[in-house]
Amino acid sequence: MVAAAGLVKRWGQVAALDGATFEIGAGVTGLLGANGAGKTTLLSLILGLHPPDAGSVEVFGLDPGRAGPEVRQRIGYAPEHDALAPDVAAQDLVRHLAEIHGLPRREATARASDTLWLVGLGEERHRPVGTMSTGQRQRVKLAAALAHDPALILLDEPTNGLDPVQREEMLALIRRIGGEFGVDVVLSSHLLDEVERTCGATVILDQGRVVAAGDLDGLRTGGTGLVVDVDTQPELLARRLRSESLEVTVDGLRLVVAGDAGAGADAVRDAAADLGIGLRRLQPRTATLEDVYLAAGRAPAGPG
Amino acid sequence: MSDARILDRGYRRYEGPRRGVAGAVGSLARHSALRALGLRRSFWAKLLPLASVGIAYVPALVFVGIAALLPDQLRQGSDLLPSYAGYYGFITAAIVLFVALVGPEVLCPDRRHRMLGLYLASPLTRDTYLVAKVLAVVPVLALVTLGPPLLLLVGLTFADAGPDSPGAFAADLVRIIVGGLVISAAYTAVSLAVASFTDRRPVASAGVILVLLVSSVATVALVAGGASERLFLLNLGAVPFELVQRIYGERGEMDVATVELVLANLAWTLGAAALLRGRYQRLRVAR
């Protein structure tokens, strides 16, 4: 879907992208990085809005710099900041942008209405955008990105300014778009848990460089140690394991045992049998996205 | 009657044809033109543009009324009616006001509300976006630069005070269209170029009026002080109207050759267009 090699983009003296190389496939892909990591610049290069200073990017196998209109006709884009005329009704605005993306007027009208219903703004679709809440305006942007039935949607920090409930709803909607609707999504976010819960793959950017990229399952295989769920007395089991020089942390009825998974599993099994503690789960620990992020030497942001 | 409603209609794929860049340009031009006129907007958004259009047509209606009510005096060679070129003297203020409203309205809000990023994320490019804006402004300005003399021509013809042959009618019609488009094109380029310097509509409107006024006052003062008549070619408020007078075979107050006028008008129009394009090529979008 999107492939970049050695992508460099500078704004004055600042290198927003510094040799970024990655591929984005089908499904929902997270573009993860702290503010200023180069996410928005990368989206603008994918859209062909600015030429790269070096390197190349291909979208649908085309160079967006040369085939911009053809590429952008198949992309929906929801920018980070408010980008909507405040005195225009949501329905008119979404219809207008669908027309701009090539839909005939009648089809654009029907799809604008349908899409606003899909994002939960059916009842509000005739209200001017400027009278809407932040959450509603984020949904209008999502509807505008979706209405012309793109092959790929680029969402730049779509949960910015949303309260926790609205955020959950927005992420559920994005999962639905990538799954049920069959539209591929690139979700740009600085929030690690958002990407982890919503995306099947990720590209992690740090200061313009790609520090990790790929399927989340693949990235997580770098984990070490064991996860142990017990039915009772986790502290008792932890003390026993520590006495055998194992590093153990306890979280409720879950223990995480660091170190080699094979040797640890034997120790846990034997200790649990000796102490009469029932094991509900005993499996190798997979790395979280946070581990991947930390391995790259960066601290991720928590939920906003 | 049931209260049941379908709240989620599911997602439909669209397999039909797409209209491409030309369709996008047409859609944006239509949308921008309607906004410039305040249509589908609040009463206050409609007030000034529609009032300017109205003011531009009032003299034409009055003259057509005079022609209908006093046909004998007109036949006796009375000077009651202006020439088509002279008609612009009655509506210059309305045209300037309209120009100052329309250009900024079409361009500034897209940058102020960041809609420009959404437009450029569509099949439109920076150049085709500007083409759409020009295609929106030229016909809207033609409402006041072309419409009133056209109304005068048709009205006088029906009142039996217009051209006396089909050939003369056609010649006047062509002059009116060319003259109206000359003024529209020049002021479209100038107003959009000025509007490209700010995203605040009122500031841009004031800027347009200032540019037209300052160039007029300064050149008139300099020529009156003994400078070359050619300085009139810098008078943005007068050059297009003077050229229109030449199109009708008349001369205004400028003592310069018609070729120089044509070149000056072209230079102003193309220069302003180049400035506009340069500004938009350098804009950073998508934030």
What are the structural domain ranges in chain A?
2-220, 226-285
pLDDT of residue A304 exceeding 60: no
Of the partner residues B28, B114, B124, the one whose CB lies closest to the CB of residue A83: B114
How far B142 CA sits from the closest chain A CA (Å)?
25
Of the partner residues B10, B31, B113, the one whose CB lies closest to the CB of residue A83: B113
Residue indicated by tokens 């500007």:
B130
pLDDT of residue A119 exceeding 80: yes
Q: Which of A106-115, A221-230, B228-237 has the lowest mean pLDDT?
A: A221-230
Residues of B in contact with A114 (CB under 8 A): 9, 11-12
Q: What pLDDT band is residue A218 in, cutting at 50, 70 and 90?
A: confident
What is A203-253 written as a DSSP string? Answer: EEEETTEEEEEEEHHHHHTT--SEEEEESS-HHHHHHHHHHTT--EEEETT
Q: What ranges in B16-165 are assigned the alpha helix state H?
A: 20-36, 43-69, 71-75, 84-112, 115-120, 126-145, 147-158
CA distance A126 to A117: 12
- B251 vs A59, B239, B244, B258, CA distance in Å? 59, 12, 9, 9
Sign of CA dihedral B78, B81, B82, B83: negative
Q: Is A85's CB within 8 Å of B109's CB?
A: yes
- A174 vs A1, A95, A165, A186, B85, CA distance in Å? 18, 21, 14, 10, 61
Per-residue pLDDT of A41-53, as tens digits, reads 999 999 999 899 9
Identity of the residue numbered A248: V
**Residue B94 tokens, joined:** 């309305």
> Average pLDDT in the B33-43 region?
88
Q: What pLDDT band is residue B3 in, cutting at 50, 70 and 90?
A: low
> Average pLDDT in the A253-273 region?
86
> Average pLDDT in the A57-81 region?
94
Residues of B in contact with A96 (CB under 8 A): 27, 31
Residues of A in contact with B287 (CB under 8 A): 40, 79-81
Interchain contact A52–B (C-beta under 8 A): no
Of the partner residues A73, A83, A84, the one whose CB lies closest to the CB of residue B18: A73
What are the structural domain ranges in chain B?
20-282
Report which of residues A94 and B3 the model is more confident about. Answer: A94
Fold classified for A226-285 = Alpha-Beta Plaits (3.30.70)
Report which of residues B8 and B82 the model is more confident about. Answer: B82
For residue A223, what pLDDT is reported?
63
- pLDDT cut 70: percent of chain A above it: 94
Q: What pLDDT band is residue B129 in, cutting at 50, 70 and 90?
A: very high
Residue indicated by tokens 């809000």:
B109
Of the partner residues B11, B125, B285, the one whose CB lies closest to the CB of residue A181: B11
pLDDT of residue A299 exceeding 60: no
Residue in A closest to B281 by C-alpha: A50
Per-residue pLDDT of B55-74, as tens digits, reads 999 999 999 888 888 776 66
**Residue A270 tokens, joined:** 């034997």
Residues of A in contact with B136 (CB under 8 A): none
Of the partner residues B31, B40, B123, the one whose CB lies closest to the CB of residue A69: B123
Q: What pLDDT band is residue B254 in, cutting at 50, 70 and 90?
A: confident
pLDDT of residue A202 exceeding 80: yes
Report which of residues B2 and B165 the model is more confident about. Answer: B165
Q: Is A85's CB within 8 Å of B115's CB?
A: yes
**Residue A171 tokens, joined:** 């992420």
Per-residue pLDDT of B161-215, as tens digits, reads 888 899 999 999 999 999 999 999 999 999 999 999 999 999 999 999 999 999 9
CA distance A103 to B268: 37
Nearest to A25, CA basis, from A71, A75, A64, A59:
A59
pLDDT of residue B5 exceeding 70: no
Q: Is A83's CB within 8 Å of B118's CB?
A: yes
Fold classified for A2-220 = Rossmann fold (3.40.50)
Per-residue pLDDT of B208-252, as tens digits, reads 999 999 999 999 999 888 888 888 899 998 999 999 999 998 888
pLDDT of residue B1 exceeding 50: no
Q: What pLDDT band is residue A303 in, cutting at 50, 70 and 90?
A: very low
